[in-house]
Amino acid sequence: MRLHQADPLDMSHQPKLATVHYRQQLRDLGYRCTRPREAVLCTLLETDRPMTASEVFDRIQQDCTRIDLATVYRNLHMLLDLGLVMQLSFAHESQFRYAWSERRGHAQYVGCVQCGEIVSLPVPSLRRLKQFIRNKTGFLVNLQSFELSGLCPDCQ
């Protein structure tokens, strides 16, 4: 494993370590590996917190990589279609957030309606809840994306 040493003003011109694995995967699927696309992928991969499109956009700009918001949205949707990211919606937030979906086991989140902090929920299994809902309503719920809102310890 080699360390990636980059010019701080030019960080994302080189593919980041984490993305290397996905470059081939994308190519195999017939997608091209462009700088903006990798920047989006990278950003999501490097960030724990589910991000809004404009947060992704801002982060990429900070790295001095030019990108357009529309491109961020387009790539987010491409990754969504591929199942590589998931789209989350928290109560009281009027925009979507996106998170890398390979982080199984902590794909559930709780967000604070006051300060906006978001933490992942280490729920080992919500199988019982799922089964309960299945029995009562017949719905097959997707607890893969499971967002709750409340107050974080600081804001209570």
Residues engaged in binding its own copies (CB under 8 A): 87-94, 96, 110, 112-113, 119, 121-123, 129, 132-133, 136-143, 145-153, 156
Q: Quickly list H helices, 3-52.
A: 17-28, 35-46
> What angle separates helix 69-81 from helix 35-46, to the nearest 10 degrees?
70
Q: Candidates 8-16, 29-37, 102-110, 122-130: pick the segment binding DNA (CB under 7 A).
A: 29-37
As a whole number of angstroms, the distance between CA 115 and CA 97 comes to 16
Return the one option of its own copies, DNA, none that residue 13 interacts with (CB less than 5 to 8 A, by type). Answer: none
In the complex with its own copies, the residue whose CB is nearer, 5 or 137, is: 137
> Would you count residue 133 as binding DNA (CB under 7 A)?
no
In whole angstroms, how close is the CB of 94 to DNA at the nearest point?
A: 5
Long-range contacts of 31-36 (CB under 8 A, 24+ apart): 31/78, 35/65, 36/60, 36/65, 36/67, 36/68, 36/71, 36/72, 36/75
Q: Which of residues 47 and 71 has its CB atom nearest to DNA in the complex?
A: 71
By the criterion CB under 7 A, which residues form the site for DNA?
27, 30-37, 52-54, 66-71, 73-75, 77, 94-96
